[in-house]
Amino acid sequence: MKNLILVALISIAIGICSAQCPCSDDSLCDPVSAGVRPEFVGFSMVNEQSIWESYDWNILTTLALFYPVQDLSTDLLCLAHSKQTRIVIGASFPVNQLWNYTAQEEWIQTQIQTVQQYHLDGVNIDIEDVIAEDQQDLSALLTGFVAKTNYEFKNVNPNYQVTFDVAWAAGCIDLRCYDYQGLAMASDFIIAMDYDTQSQIFTQHCTANANTPAQRAWQGTESFLNLGIPPSKLVMALPWYGYDYTCIGEGMTLNNTVCTIKWDEYRGVNCSDAAGTQLWYSQIVDLMANQSIQKTPQQWSNQVYAPWFNYINPNDQQVHQIWFDDAQSISIKVDIAQYFELLGIGIWNIDFLSTSQSETQDMWQAVAQYFS
Ligand SMILES: *[C@@H]1O[C@H](CO)[C@@H](O)[C@H](O)[C@H]1NC(C)=O
Ligand SMILES: *[C@@H]1O[C@H](CO)[C@@H](O)[C@H](O)[C@H]1NC(C)=O
Ligand SMILES: *[C@@H]1O[C@H](CO)[C@@H](O)[C@H](O)[C@H]1NC(C)=O
Ligand SMILES: *[C@@H]1O[C@H](CO)[C@@H](O)[C@H](O)[C@H]1NC(C)=O
């Protein structure tokens, strides 16, 4: 009798903890059970039905939420799971708390509870804090933290996915001197953020340049593989956005190709893409199509394999230079990922397109070629 009561109480407790499945088929609330497969990780910052309805669900394997999980619509959850697409939550942890095992444990349990409550599939850890070269004890704690998170998630459900976002290259990009090899081994895979590569510009002149020169995607990938990270543990994430820079300096006209930009310090380096403004690819397409704006035709740089153009911004009447990625420049970097036989491709972020633009199809196609 006592046992029966206990069993009943436990059942009630479980019923309260895991909310009712909102999908028509209860099995759609189970974590996706697909094993290792080519990955397409789409980062998302907004739950916009007209946009997610038009994702290429044939290739999307993981949707990483960078908006409050409360805003996730159940229709999106059920659709994703019906397509064997995982949904993971983007989450961060302050490195100055890595010494604090109580804080670590609380954080891990909170993430697991959230994932269970919303019938999701894991966590994408995005920590970009400074760990200086002489802080290798802290770096080791970070690797241990990721390993522990992965271990505890897998203990609850072996299908849960735990991934970690890393800079575009190993070493100390943006003073992130992490143990990249350890992080790759401690997680299911790492996602190299092949964008914002101009966050610290060390060249003599402070000028606008491509968000992700193809060479950097190549060198960054090599830097990870040279550490002994298997390509099957590495995803290359590419940008569906660009940077708008105000060109300063005497005599700047639409005809000038070199755009000098103001200093905007980032982590000790005066010249940085912080001087620019990020624009979605769809916004850039709109700008290029706008007849009332004075601008150059789209140019192509054979130095960095990316498109750019100048225009006169109607708000400040100054020449601006925009560097971005289109289907052609994305394709080149996807080819690099293919050449190195990486696990897959990621995009920051998959909502930066407009369903009313024909270019949108080309952008998806540039990624889909990886999976054909
Ligand atoms: C460690 O983390 C716990 C839980 O977040 C917190 O209550 C405590 O104050 C932290 N300790 C230190 C020394 O920061
Ligand atoms: C830009 O170049 C075009 C073609 O060479 C020329 O006609 C025009 O005058 C130049 N504009 C400026 C502002 O230098
Ligand atoms: C960076 O900017 C600061 C403030 O303007 C200046 O004092 C410093 O000399 C600059 N550093 C370099 C390396 O130019
Ligand atoms: C074109 O640019 C002008 C000036 O910024 C703006 O007022 C207008 O709304 C834009 N047109 C379109 C179709 O985006």
Beta bridge partners of 306: 301
Looking at residue 96, what is its pLDDT?
96
Q: Is the CB–ligand 4 distance for residue 314 below 6 Å?
A: yes
pLDDT digits (tens, 9 = 90+) for 311-366: 999 999 999 999 999 999 999 999 999 999 999 999 999 999 999 999 999 999 99
Query: Looking at the predicted structure, is the pLDDT value of residue 37 above 90?
Result: yes
Q: Is the CB–ligand 4 distance for residue 290 below 6 Å?
A: yes
Burial 57-94 (b: 16+ CB within 10 A, else e): bebbbbbbbeeebeebeeebbbbbbeeebbbbbbbebe
Catalytic residues: 128
pTM of the model: 0.94
Query: Looking at the predicted structure, is the pLDDT value of residue 5 above 60?
Result: no
Q: Max alpha carbon distance in the chain (Å)?
A: 90
Q: What are phi and psi of 282, to 5 degrees?
A: -65, -35
Ligand found nearest the CA of 98: 1
State the average pLDDT over residues 45-54: 96
Looking at residue 263, what is its pLDDT?
95
Evaluate whether 226 touches 279 at the Cβ level (below 8 Å): no
From atom 1 of ligand 2, which residue's Cα is the shortest distance away?
255
Looking at residue 372, what is its pLDDT?
87
Looking at residue 18, what is its pLDDT?
59
Ligand found nearest the CA of 100: 1
For 242, the enclosing helix (H) or strand (E) is strand 241-246
Looking at residue 1, what is its pLDDT?
45
pLDDT digits (tens, 9 = 90+) for 252-271: 999 999 999 999 999 999 99
Strand bridging mode 277-280 / 241-246: antiparallel
Three-class DSSP labels, 153-166:
HHHHCCCCEEEEEE
The residue with tokens 């009630």 is 12
Looking at residue 234, what is its pLDDT?
98
Evaluate whether 279 touches 243 at the Cβ level (below 8 Å): yes
Q: How far apart are CA 218 and CA 234, in angstroms?
A: 13
pLDDT digits (tens, 9 = 90+) for 172-201: 999 999 999 999 999 999 999 999 999 999
Query: Looking at the predicted structure, is the pLDDT value of residue 4 above 80?
Result: no
pLDDT digits (tens, 9 = 90+) for 78-105: 999 999 999 999 999 999 999 999 999 9
Helix axes 136-156, 101-117, angle to 10 degrees: 40
Q: How far apart are CA 286 and CA 279, in angstroms?
A: 11
Residue among 147, 159, 148 nearest 121 (CA):
159
Q: Which atom of ligand 1 is nearest to the CA of 100?
A: 1
Q: How far apart are CA 185 and CA 194, in angstroms?
A: 20
Q: Is the CB–ligand 2 distance for residue 255 below 6 Å?
A: yes
Half-sphere exposure of 6 (CA within 13 A, CB side): 3
pLDDT digits (tens, 9 = 90+) for 260-299: 999 999 999 999 999 999 999 999 999 999 999 999 999 9
Looking at residue 115, what is its pLDDT?
98
Residue 270 CA to ligand 3 centre (angstroms): 6
Evaluate whether 362 touches 327 at the Cβ level (below 8 Å): yes
Evaluate whether 114 touches 69 at the Cβ level (below 8 Å): yes
The residue extents of the domains of the chain are: 2-241+327-371
Evaluate whether 292 touches 179 at the Cβ level (below 8 Å): no
Looking at residue 61, what is its pLDDT?
98
pLDDT digits (tens, 9 = 90+) for 57-70: 999 999 999 999 99
Residue 4: exposure state from Cβ atoms within 10 A (0-12, 13-18, ≥19):
exposed
The residue with tokens 């200093």 is 263
DSSP H helices, 157-290, are: 180-186, 214-225, 281-289
Looking at residue 250, what is its pLDDT?
86
Query: Looking at the predicted structure, is the pLDDT value of residue 12 above 60?
Result: no
Q: Which atom of ligand 2 is nearest to the CA of 253?
A: 13
Ligand found nearest the CA of 105: 1
At residue 234, the 3 state secondary structure works out as strand
Beta bridge partners of 348: 43, 239
Joined together, the tokens standing for residue 172 give 């100390």
* Residue-averaged pLDDT of the chain: 95
Residue 308 CA to ligand 2 centre (angstroms): 18
- Considering only the top CATH level, what class is 2-241+327-371? alpha beta
Q: How far apart are CA 11 and CA 24, in angstroms?
A: 23
